[in-house]
Structure 1
Amino acid sequence: MAEHGGITPAPADEEEQVWSWGAGTDGQLGTAKLKDEHIPQLLSLTSLASISMLACGGAHVIALTSGGKVLTWGRGNSGQLGHGDMLDSSLPKPVSFFDDYFVTQASAGWSHSGFVSDSGCLFTCGNGSFGQLGHGDNMSLCSPAKVSYFADKSVKMVACGMRHSLVLFAGNQVCGFGSGKRGQLGFSSDKTKSLVNLPCLVSGLEDVEIVRIAANGDHSAAISANGHMFSWGRGFCGSPDVQTPHCFHSSLSFRDVALGWNHALLLTADGEVSKLGNTLNKQFKKQQVQVDSSEPLLEKVAGFDGVKVVQIAAGAEHSAAITESGEVQTWGWGEHGQLGLGNTNDHNNPQLVSLGSIDQRTQETKVYCGSGFTYVVSRIQKLSSS
């Protein structure tokens, strides 16, 4: 899910605004109401002050504070909230397990969670029935546990998909574990036919400097330091599944990738957004092009001509972007109101989301997508009292 792309902590003369909308029946919107919201809801939650990043999963949210603390909320039926139980929470609740740790990065999968500490340790909790927690078994955990494989390997980043996990660690190496039936673990074909509950190295990236990883659905991806995008797992646009990382051939230099269930968004260093696949099932079925090709079609996202995009995010079947001017744009599937447009309509092209009348100067805005919901965190310059 969309889990990297942190926001700079707000200085004393600035404040944060947190907005959420979309699917909310499991408490994932943090509004204390178990209902969908079709327009952005401004959250008045003091516990969410000074957010460094959010991670949005199937129906749960992880927030990290600038002080390295962890709060979670939403669906907790598999223990993915890390509170020691399997209960939902409609409001952010601190994860007491991390009281003595400083957590720097986190990821939320469909029903499991991963956390990286400043010392390079990896912790996981939630659904482990496919081995996606990496502890060598298929047990689920309702409290975070350290993944022993990485005890001396200095983890940089974790990315949680539907039923699998990826980890980037020192030496720019990438490991995968969990379900690999669509090739999303990046192993040779003899290993993808069974569940893998211990981390194994992804094939073919040993000599590549990887700087970002992403996972969602049955897809996996990575961005290299020189701007190449590698993907593996379920094929896009009807293309065959890819068992090991495939470098996407393009003259563009990519700096970020966001994955959905049927699509990928790619962001170049120049702020151009392209896509693989489609966010809408009906569109996907009509446009299954290049079925016999191993290289899916890369298309530029319409609607951003002359506009520089600074951040992208992808939910299960919707997409979001932040422009250089701080505008929030969404498109794709809208059944739960996750586009924030006041209705449940689908949209093929980016649409402007209104966050109300803000008369303060926005310093920085970040967007995060869960499977059917969206969050925006804005850092706002406070008005002078004089």
Structure 2
Amino acid sequence: MAEHGKTQADEEEEQQVWSWGAGTDGQLGTAKLQDELLPQLLSLTSLPSISMLACGGAHVIALTSDGKVFTWGRGSSGQLGHGDILNITLPKLVSFFDGYVITQAAAGWSHSGFVSDSGCLFTCGNGSFGQLGHGDNTSLSTPAKVSYFSNESVKMVACGMRHSLVLLAGNQVCGFGSGKRGQLGFTSDGTKSVNLPCVVSGLKDVEVTRISANGDHSAAISADGQFFSWGRGFCAGPDVYAPQCLPSSLSFREVAVGWNHALLLTVDGEVFKLGNTLNKQPEKQQLQIDSSEALLAKVSDFDGVKVLQIAAGAEHSAAVTENGEVKTWGWGEHGQLGLGNTNDQTSPQLVSLGSIDLRTKEIKVYCGSGFTYAVRRKQGLSSSPTSS
């Protein structure tokens, strides 16, 4: 139902949602089981006000501005949270969260995490590596509260391929799930998995503001703009079993991690990449992480325009510029670059989402493993009346 003072047409005018790329599990929300090589404008009448999306292996989580949760796509491990293991091609309300206000969510390969406004963490989906954090390796098709954090306040959750990270209100970071490549950040012996949260070592005195996970990688950004990473080594380097700070004079404010690469966004709106991707490497800095050489390269294909937001899929990347453009690059086999073909791209390419409306408030881009979403919000046509 439309908000008081707004018609459904008004709400659709204020928000546009596009999807493209891999779609054979219903993750594009088009009601079709097929890949899409060009952006598809969705008619999400049941989902008028999206506050954020989280895209996983082949499923999507959407949070609304009033804290409701909708999911769709692949559900074979229970990751959609509907009490079954069915795929869904259109957004469906997760009824479990009636009475809760969910403020942040994350989607892994086949599991999901949800954070409430009261600081509780809920997980569901594949738990075979302990990535749900409930003390067992059981998979769940309905979200369950992670009791380990009953006396803590959770700020953020991030989900990788088979592991999860949690940022607590006291800036502590915990990890659980698969740890074979060091992605849990607290062992040095190649521990295969743990099913209860454990504190990530080496970040005790760091004020962590953001965490990110994908594949077998884990990452964090600190309040003073430092970047920390652990897990599978970038650029074929050795695995890193505890957070290592990237030595750099740059100040970072956002990180997006893929399967083989990480994107870093500086406070000045410049994009850098770490790891093996298809990006051009016009400017290179050889840096040391845990005695292994890693390559940090500036993605300098934005013609001096600042980048406002970044996202990373398995092997593709996306960015939103200050002039409201969405650009993509990397792996394109499923059409996840939105360029009308399945070609790979070594540098950022403009994605056509129609003309930019002067009333556009913001655009956000989100990447799943082989698919992409863009959400464009416009300034309201008029203010809601204060009385009938």
Match of 1:126 in 2: 125
- Aligned partners of 2:61 and 2:357: how far apart in 1? 29
Q: Conserved in 2, the CA contact under 8 Å of 1:264 and 1:276?
A: yes
The match for 1:314 is 312
Alpha carbons of 1:45 and 1:206: their partners in 2 closer, same or farther (altered >3 Å)?
A: same
* Contact 2:232-2:239 within 8 A present in 1 as well: yes
The count of residues paired between Structure 1 and Structure 2 equals 367
C-alpha contact (below 8 Å) 1:248/1:295 kept by paired residues:
no
- Deviation of 1:279 after TM superposition, in Å, equals 2.7
Structure 1 match to 2:368: 370
> Is the contact made by 1:36 and 1:337 (CA closer than 8 Å) also made in structure 2?
yes
The answer to whether the Cα contact below 8 Å between 1:178 and 1:196 also exists between their aligned partners in 2 is yes
Q: Deviation at 1:188?
A: 2.4
Equivalent position SS for 2:46: helix
Q: Secondary structure at the match of 1:299?
A: strand
- 8 Å CA contact 1:369–1:375 kept in 2: the answer is yes
Q: Provide the rounded CA distance (Å) in 2 between the counterparts of 1:326 and 1:291.
A: 35
Between the aligned partners of 1:244 and 1:237, the Cα distance in structure 2 is: 18
Shift of 1:357: 3.5
Match in the other structure for 1:81 = 80
Give the superposition deviation at 1:360.
5.3
1:350 aligns with 2:357: no
- Cα 1:238–1:101 shift into 2, 3 Å: same
Q: 1:292 to 1:267 in 2, by over 3 A?
A: closer
Corresponding position of 1:245 = 243
Q: Does the Cα contact within 8 Å between 1:239 and 1:291 map onto a contact in 2? A: no
Counterpart of 2:386 in structure 1 is none
Match of 1:98 in 2: 97
In the superposition, the TM-score normalised over structure 1's length comes to 0.92
Structure 2 residue identity aligned to 1:324: E
Deviations 1:96-138 (A, max 9, x none): 0001100000000000000000000000000000000000000
Instruction: Say which of 216, 219, 225 aligns to 2:217.
Output: 219
SS state at 1:156 partner: strand
Between the aligned residues of both structures, percent identity stands at 81
Matched, 1:27 2:26: yes
Query: Partner letter of residue 109 of structure 2?
Result: W
- Gaps in structure 2 of 5+ consecutive residues: 1-9, 282-286, 383-388
| Deviations 1:136-168, CA, capped at 9 Å, x for gaps | 000000000000001110000000000000000
1:26 touches 1:34 (CA, 8 Å); kept in 2?
A: yes
In the alignment, which residue of structure 1 is the partner of 2:112? 113
1:129-278 matches, within 5 Å, as: 129-190=128-189, 192-278=190-276
Q: Which residue of 1 aligns with 2:337?
A: 339
CA contact (8 A) 1:239 1:290 kept: no
Partner of residue 286, structure 1: none
Runs of 4+ in 1 over 3 A off after TM superposition: 11-14, 289-293, 357-360, 381-384
Deviation of 1:307 (Å):
1.1
- Higher RCO by CA contacts (8 Å cutoff, separation 6 or greater): 1
Which amino acid is 1:154 matched to? S
For 1:5, the equivalent position in structure 2 comes to none
Residue 280 of structure 1: CA displacement?
Answer: 4.4
Tell me which amino acid in the other structure corresponds to 2:311: A
Contact 1:360 1:382 in 2 (8 A): no
Further displaced range: 344-353 or 298-307: 298-307
What residue is the counterpart of 1:51 in the other structure?
Answer: 50
TM-score (norm 2): 0.91
2:7 equivalent in structure 1:
none
Determine if contact 1:238/1:291 at 8 Å carries over to the other structure.
no
